[in-house]
Amino acid sequence: MVAFFLLLFSEFVFYTKKDMKKIIFWAVWISFQIQAQSNAPLNVTVKNSKGTPIQGDQIQFVGQKSKKTIQGITNQQGTFYIEIPVGDIYQIQIKSIGPEIEYNTLEIPALASGQYYETNTLEIVYDAPTSFTLDRIQFETASAKLKGNSTLELEKLVEIMQLKPSLKILIEGHTDSDGNENDNLLLSSKRAEAVKNYLVQKGIAANRIETKGYGSSRPIAYNDNAEGKAKNRRTEIKVR
């Protein structure tokens, strides 16, 4: 039996591609004893920087060699137990509110015969974004009818809200500056409502969702070219 104590503390800085907001991660890996089996048992804890457990996060471990994905979902205490095959380097990914987060890599070496991993602890601390844009949501021109290619992103939002039963959101609709502003205000409101209706039809309680239309009053780009107008026509989610 080979016994040892290992404590690694690392800090990682991540910037989302969309808004370049800084998110800081801390990972604590504690190993008490190595002695060898095909899987390494792992307790995973996820919380925010205030120490509040995060429920409903999907933490994925993607093997660089095997290409297999193993995942766990945090419970009300922000924890889950998982067993990960040894002899691979895993990319840790966080699927939660907003864009998927590429976290860090975790190597679990294969051990010599007669050795095994005792249960280790991985603690992930991060602050999830409080707002994000549904980049793949599209509507018919001058209409609140959702295009078929919007389904994938809408289903991801449904899944998040199912995994996080206490989550409440505000859906904001925005347009470009083309046309009459009163018409744009009405259109943006109807588009936000269309997204809400999709979620409600999928079983999400209506009282968890608010909607608001802003027309063209809150642009994020210039409206003097097609690219800027496309950016301004958007659906945003705000966490309440």
Looking at residue 32, its pLDDT comes to 41
Using a 10 angstrom Cβ sphere, with 0-12 exposed, 13-18 middle and 19 or more buried, the burial of residue 221 is: middle
CA pair distance 55, 92, nearest whole angstrom: 17
Same domain, 11 and 114: yes
Q: Cβ of 193: how many Cβ atoms within 10 Å? A: 17
Residue 176 domain boundaries: 131-239
Question: For residue 50, what are the CA distances in angstroms to 10, 53, 102, 121, 237?
Answer: 18, 9, 22, 19, 23
Number of domains in the chain: 2
Looking at residue 33, its pLDDT comes to 46
Same domain, 120 and 144: no
Strand partners of residue 71: 60
> Does the pTM of the predicted model rise above 0.85?
no
Looking at residue 18, its pLDDT comes to 43
Domain boundary among 125, 156, 189: 125
Looking at residue 113, its pLDDT comes to 83
CATH number at residue 95: 2.60.40.10
Looking at residue 40, its pLDDT comes to 94
What mean pLDDT, rounded, does the chain reach?
Answer: 87
Listed in sequence order, the DSSP H helices in the chain are 151-163, 181-201, 226-232
Domain boundary among 93, 125, 157: 125
Given a cut of 70, whether residue 106 has pLDDT beyond it is yes
